[in-house]
Structure 1
Amino acid sequence: MIIIPAVDIKNSKCVQLVQGEPGTEQVIIDNPADVAVKWINKGAKRLHIVDLDGALGSGQNINIVKEIVEKSTVPTQMGGGIRTMDDARKLLDVGIDTVIIGTMAIENPDIIEELSNEYGKDRICVSLDSKDNRVVTHGWTKFTDKTPLEYARIFQDKGAGSILFTNVDVEGLLNGINLDIAENLISNIDIPVIYSGGITSIDDIKSLKQINTEYVVIGSALYKGLIEFEDLLEYQD
């Protein structure tokens, strides 16, 4: 298992939102690049970057992203506001190792095949956000008619190298996790699943490791001090 700290960027700062809602910032830290370096120094083997301004359609933070890439000594994955092929290419070309594509992939699955052919499947991840076991898009505001597993199989066939699975029902609430959907995904597709959402304790990490989760993203629990990153190292491969 690789445990990945989240660096969420909004208004040029590192923040943590509740349920992804603007205005619910509970953590605000200056200089996201320095935050990224802090996690690397604590033992992180990968970074998860989210451009919340891009996701919310209120601008982009490409200069900060470049600074993080320049300072990072570990692989980076990034999502948020990737609306076009050019958006994805721009991030890949500035050095982001893996782009995470959500709504755009759902609307046009062939984009994943095109990007995978162009950059290699390991650099293309599809984000599947789940609410009531249905994939939701457009910032969790629109329901689709498919489950995460149904979409995961589609994108695996299209050449995605991994799936970022976020359980919206528990995301940001710090009430723990629900393993059922994640375990179903992990057991029924052949590409890695990156789990995100609701992780509150070391016990959550133990549970995810037991179902063979390969990657786990943690945000709020780290920033609020509920979990110390150093305590996670024994669970990290």
Structure 2
Amino acid sequence: MTRFRGCIDIHAGKVKQIVGGTLSDDTNTGLKTNFVATLPSSHFAKLYRENGVSGTHVIKLGPGCDDAAIEALRAWDGGLQIGGGITAENAQFWIANGAEKVIVTSYLFPNGRLDLSRLQQLHDKVGKEKLVIDLSCRRRGGEWIVAMNKWQTMTDTVINKQTLEFLASCCSEFLVHAADVEGLCRGIDEDLVVALAQWSPIPVTYAGGAKSIDDLALVDRLSEGKVDLTYGSALDIFGGTLVPFAACVAWNNTHLT
């Protein structure tokens, strides 16, 4: 059964919701922000903790985010996943500071090419069960290509059955943002949801474009319950008007108990 999973996106030290395709190394050029929180990251971590929204991910979007990330992790020790700038050198630091799992993308793709030695190093550091591989992607023609560096750099890796089956041997979950629709609240990439359900042998969370509480039922139907869903900008706790957080919690409580 599809479940609602939470997210806490941190940019320049604040919890934000950003249109994914506009994020770049130059934070002052072209960035489109849907929401900037006045409350600390710990507020959102406690909200997820109190409502039992497990599998929530904290994503550091660039520099200046470590303090806010640690604050969130300490508010739910052992209950949150952490991503953004994760490497073999610092992965254990984040586990020691309360992360349930670490999420990795760009580190695995130096110069845009998948480096299996780096994947092995991370696996050796934290183990399969504490490793999540982020395969956030952009659509090019009929394919989805893994994108790194804030979704601006295309890699050599295509999301398909062979890729997911191979990488699943080294991690416990996949996280997939559909970067082209991230933050737009115009609907999910239904084709990608179907493909992830068919191809992934391990749990996978989809993020990007969700705009209605009915999207939980839609993803459940499209994926036969194999893909979980994250809401961002549409969620009322992030300034949205389309999806009540309480309704997402109610979905989990009704369908997962």
Q: TM over 0.5: same fold?
A: yes
Which of the numbers 63, 69, 74 marks the counterpart of 1:70? 74
CA distance in 2, matches of 1:60, 1:90: 17
Quote the residue 2:180 is aligned against. 169
Matched, 1:38 2:38: no
Deviation string, structure 1 residues 174-230 (Cα, Å, up to 9, x no partner): 100122122222222311111111111122111111212343222111121311121
Q: Secondary structure at the match of 1:221?
A: coil
Query: What does residue range 148-187 of structure 1 map to in structure 2 within 5 Å?
Result: 148-149=159-160, 150-157=162-169, 159-187=170-198
Aligned to 1:215, the other structure's residue is in SS state: strand
AA paired with 1:155? L
Mapped contact 1:2–1:45 kept (Cα < 8 A): no
Classify 1:96/1:170 alpha carbon distance in 2 versus 1 (closer, same or farther; 3 Å). Answer: same
**Aligned residue runs from structure 1 range 76-155, under 5 A:** 76-82=80-86, 84-106=87-109, 107-132=114-139, 133-149=144-160, 150-155=162-167
**Which one of 203, 215, 219 corresponds to residue 204 of structure 1?**
215
Q: Which runs of 5+ in 2 are unaligned?
A: none
- 1:10 is aligned to 11
Q: Which amino acid aligns with 1:205?
A: L
Residues 76-128 of structure 1 show CA distances to partners (whole Å, capped at 9, x for unaligned) of 1111122x311222212212111111121234233333333442312101111
8 Å CA contact retained: 1:112, 1:124: no
Name whichever of 113-122 and 219-228 sits farther off.
113-122
Deviations 1:134-169 (A, max 9, x none): 222222222234321243233113x11111111122
For residue 135 of structure 2, give the secondary structure of its aligned residue in structure 1. Answer: strand
Higher helix share: 1
Contact 1:5 1:44 in 2 (8 A): yes
Say if 1:217 and 1:234 are closer, same or farther in 2 by CA, change over 3 A. same
Q: Is the 8 A contact 1:99 1:125 kept in 2?
A: yes
Identity %: 23
Q: TM-score, with normalisation over the residues of structure 1?
A: 0.87
Kindly state the Cα deviation for residue 37 of structure 1 after the two structures are TM-superposed.
1.3
**What is the alpha-carbon distance in structure 1 between the residues aligned to residue 149 and residue 54 of structure 2?**
30
Q: Find the residue that maps to 2:73 and give its secondary structure.
A: helix
Trace 1:209-220 onto structure 2 (pairs within 5 A).
Answer: 209-210=220-221, 211=223, 212-220=225-233
1:231 pairs with 2:243: no
The TM-score with structure 2 as length reference comes to: 0.81
Contiguous gaps of at least 5 residues in structure 1: 54-58
Alpha carbons 2:92, 2:125 under 8 Å: kept: no
Q: 1:56 matched to which residue of 2?
A: none
1:43 deviates by 4.4
* Contact 1:40/1:73 (<8 A) preserved: no
- For 2:75 and 2:65, locate their aligned partners in 1 and report how far apart those are by CA, in whole Å: 16
Q: How many pairs does the alignment contain?
A: 230
Match in the other structure for 1:188: 199
